[in-house]
Amino acid sequence: MNFTRYIALGDSMTEGMTDEVVNGHYRGWADRIADVMAQQNPDFTYMNLAVRGKLIQQVIDDQLPQIQKYVTGRETLVSFHAGANDVIRPNYNPAITLPLYIDAAKKVAATGCTLMLFTVMEKPSSDGKTGQIWEARFHEFNKIVRHTAEITGAILIDWNVAPFLSDLRFLATDRLHLNSEGHYRVAQGVLEKLELPFDSKWKVALPPPVAIPRVKKFASDLHWIATFVIPWIWRRVRGKSSGDGRKSKHSYPVQWGQH
């Protein structure tokens, strides 16, 4: 379909952390597919309402009400990628999060748009207890995403068919968000699903990694804990979020071909 507008909803994944910075904002996979859509249609417009750190209820409250007047029909693509921040919280309650996800997706679909949903990579990049919890939680979450896509008629982007994307080398130094290569690969996968021009090399796995000396890995782990893990825990203790006070990149339709 020749989309005339793309509206992106969600959290840090859709905001674009931690891709290259363009005009003061992270670029991200959503901007990258908007670039291609704009090439197909000179009147194409783009909104990105995603803000890092947002839980699913916040996405529902802050972002969903903004899209109704901007959806013009099936030619408007709306991506909804939320819930992962809830799932990784220690106090995660699937009885709350999963029904919220289904209801939110139904509300977006009811606008008459073309809805696009995403699973989350289930296989963690590391083993251990934390990895087991991650895999179990996202396995159940993804079942709901797939079910929701089926009942709403949404386009489903299922990253678990491309397990090579769990390679840590597609992640930034925080080991959570995608780096520029990761965002590029994700964008190409989405473009292929949308039957738009894409780079078929996105499916090519990286070469085997070079072994890292134990001492260097230990130092890297300590830096990661001090720089990312402890601040994350400290924000949770204080009830704060990395997205507090932040505004979305594009809160109204931007003539993207002229951005």
pLDDT in tens, 29-84: 999 999 999 999 999 999 999 999 999 999 999 999 999 999 999 999 999 999 99
Q: With contact defined as beta carbons under 8 Å apart, do 117 and 148 qualify? A: yes
Element of type H or E holding 147:
helix 129-152
SS3 45: strand
Omega within 30 of 0 (cis) for the link into 18: yes
Identity of the residue numbered 158: D
Nearest-angstrom CA–CA distance, 248 and 11 = 10
Range of the domain at 221: 5-258
The enclosing domain of 198 has a CATH number of: 3.40.50.1110
Query: Which residues are CB-neighbours of 157 under 8 A, at least 6 positions away?
Result: 116, 117, 118, 119, 189, 190, 193
Convert the pLDDT of each residue in 229-241 to its tens digit: 666 665 766 666 6
* Partner residues linked to 26 by β-bridges: 21
**Number of structural domains the chain divides into:** 1
Which regions of the chain are under pLDDT 70?
124-127, 218, 221, 223-226, 228-234, 236-241, 243-244, 258-259
